[in-house]
């Protein structure tokens, strides 16, 4: 199964007794390349400060006498800082026999939506123009995002609010997986999920979900 990494397998073992078998894994990802340059700048600034700090021993600061070491340490420091952004770069939405699960990295952050809690009539796929995202274009009294930013999104209503799973990939496989799982679970209105949600609606202006 595509996207079934160690994190998904761990969540599958934890949630399987409650939600049944895992059917589909949707991935939302966005690498923050724009943060790389600022992180490297911080790394070099940190390294430069280190050159002027007198060690506890009696010798004087190096003052860039070992330039290759300064470049190496500063670059590695910047890369370590940038790697922390990768924690925010990948999200998963899991389709189980009994519902959906998101934010699966930690047990206390995991969000579970059982099929009876999801309004099948509100399951939609939307897309926006390049440079815009559904989270910016769609408005609702209560709205939360389950993925990182992307021009495509799955939208549904559950627990008194709307939920968005944005991604850069095609949402059709996710919609079809949700419809089949709902059908197998006997959810009312499940038969029309794909026909209502696909093809994705193109959102060009600010639109209310309520």
Q: Is the pLDDT of residue 56 over 60?
A: no
Q: Band of the pLDDT at 47, cuts 50, 70, 90?
A: confident
Average pLDDT (197-202) is: 92
Taking the C-alpha atoms of residue 155 and residue 193, their distance in angstroms, rounded to an integer, is 12
Prediction pTM value: 0.75
Instruction: State the greatest distance between any 2 C-alpha atoms of the chain, in Å, as a whole number.
Output: 78
**Assigned token pair, 22:** 């895992």
Q: Is the pLDDT of residue 205 over 80?
A: yes
Domains of the chain: residue spans and CATH: 6-30+89-205 (2.30.29), 33-86 (no CATH)
Q: Is the pLDDT of residue 196 over 90?
A: yes
Average pLDDT (35-45) is: 83
Q: Where are the beta strands (DSSP E) in the chain?
A: 22-29, 90-96, 99-102, 111-114, 118-128, 138-139, 143-145, 152-158, 161-167, 201-203, 207-208
The values of phi and psi at residue 36, to 5°, are: -65, -50
What pLDDT digit, counting tens, does each position of 92-133 carry?
999 999 999 998 888 888 999 999 999 999 999 999 987 788
Quick one: pLDDT at residue 195?
A: 93
What pLDDT digit, counting tens, does each position of 135-183 carry?
888 888 888 888 777 889 999 999 889 999 998 889 999 999 999 999 9
- How many other β-carbons are positioned within 10 Å of the β-carbon of residue 11? 24
What pLDDT digit, counting tens, does each position of 61-75 carry?
556 666 777 788 888
Quick one: pLDDT at residue 160?
A: 83
Q: Is the pLDDT of residue 55 over 80?
A: no
Average pLDDT (24-38) is: 80
Quick one: pLDDT at residue 53?
A: 66
Quick one: pLDDT at residue 102?
A: 92
**Assigned token pair, 74:** 């500063």
More confident residue, 16 or 45: 16
Average pLDDT (185-204) is: 92
Quick one: pLDDT at residue 172?
A: 93
């Amino acid at each position: 199964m595509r996207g079934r990494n160690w994190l998904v397998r761990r969540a599958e073992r934890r949630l399987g007794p409650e939600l049944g078998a895992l059917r589909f894994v949707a991935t939302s990802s966005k690498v923050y390349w724009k943060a790389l340059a600022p992180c490297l700048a911080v790394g070099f600034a940190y390294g430069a400060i280190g050159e002027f700090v007198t060690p506890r021993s009696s010798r004087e600061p190096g003052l860039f006498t070992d330039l290759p070491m300064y470049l190496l340490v500063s670059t590695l420091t910047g890369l370590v800082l940038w790697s922390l952004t990768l924690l925010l770069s990948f999200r998963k939405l899991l389709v189980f026999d009994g519902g959906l699960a998101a934010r699966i990295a930690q047990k206390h952050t995991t969000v579970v939506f059982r099929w009876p809690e999801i309004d099948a009539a509100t399951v939609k796929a939307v897309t926006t123009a390049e440079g815009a995202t559904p989270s910016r274009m769609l408005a609702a009294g209560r709205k939360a995002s389950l993925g990182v930013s992307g021009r495509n999104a799955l939208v549904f209503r559950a627990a008194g609010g709307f939920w968005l799973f944005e991604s850069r990939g095609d949402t059709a496989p996710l919609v079809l997986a949700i419809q089949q799982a709902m059908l197998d679970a006997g959810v009312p209105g499940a038969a029309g999920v794909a026909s209502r949600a696909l093809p994705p609606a193109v959102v060009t202006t600010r639109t209310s979900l309520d």
